[in-house]
Structures are given as C-alpha cells and as structure tokens.
Amino acid sequence: DIQMTQSPSSLSASVGDRVTITCRASQGISNYLVWFQQKPGKAPKSLIYAASSLQSGVPSKFSGSGSGTEFTLTISSLQPEDFATYYCQQYNTYPRTFGQGTKLEIK
C-alpha cells in the first residue's frame, strides 16, 4: 500500500497569513493526488485534484503543486472560514490512502 505522510500535523496561523502543507507519498504517484478540506461535523470537500488543478467553485487562494512523491498545498491570505483540517489522498492505485490530516488553527 502507498503511505501518505502529511506535515505538519497541526499548524497555527493568523488571518491574512499564507501557509503551506506538505504531503509525501511512499512511492511515485505521478500527479494522482487530491486535497480535501474538512470542517467539524461536515463531509470532506475537494479543493485540488491532479495535484494542481483547482476544483470548480474553489477560490484561487488555494493552490497545489508537486509530482511523483512530494506535493504541497498553499493557502494564501487566510480567512476565518479556512481554519479546518486538510487531507491529501492518492488515487494512483487501490487501496486509496489518505494522509493523516493537518489541522489548521487560528493563532
């Protein structure tokens, strides 16, 4: 199985900050990576697919990059609604595997 490792596990930031979350795959997955945002009590919502393509309706403050084994999610100009937990997931092979999540909290 492909292991997905996110860092950091938690992150404190202020409104207006720019933050970056990293996701590493245990083996190459090309660009078959998706980023999700999850708020408490809600289902995850896709933000970025194919490592760098913005999901329809998602603001351009979210951006993704990477290929192979190393990927990043960047969120610019943080707003209160962006404080949530973020997950990466590979869809190169089954079983589909997720990172452990990064909880983004307000400083």
Partner 1 sequence: EVQLVESGGGLVQPGGSLRLSCVASGFTFSSYSMNWVRQAPGKGLEWVSYISSSSSTIYYADSVKGRFTISRDNVKNSLYLQMNSLRAEDTAVYYCVRDGWLEYFDYWGQGTLVTVSS
Q: Report the interface residues with partner 1, using CB under 8 A.
A: 32, 34, 36, 38, 42-46, 49-50, 55, 87, 89, 91, 94-101
Judged by beta carbon, residue 16 or residue 57, the one nearer partner 1 is: 57
**C-alpha pair distances (Å), 55 with each of 12, 40, 60, 105, 106:** 25, 21, 10, 23, 25
CB of 100 to partner 1, least distance (A): 5
**Residues 30 and 68: beta-carbon distance below 8 Å:** yes
CB of 91 to partner 1, least distance (A): 5
Judged by beta carbon, residue 28 or residue 77, the one nearer partner 1 is: 28
Judged by beta carbon, residue 19 or residue 88, the one nearer partner 1 is: 88
Strands 33-38 and 45-49: antiparallel
Distance CA 5, CA 106 (A): 23
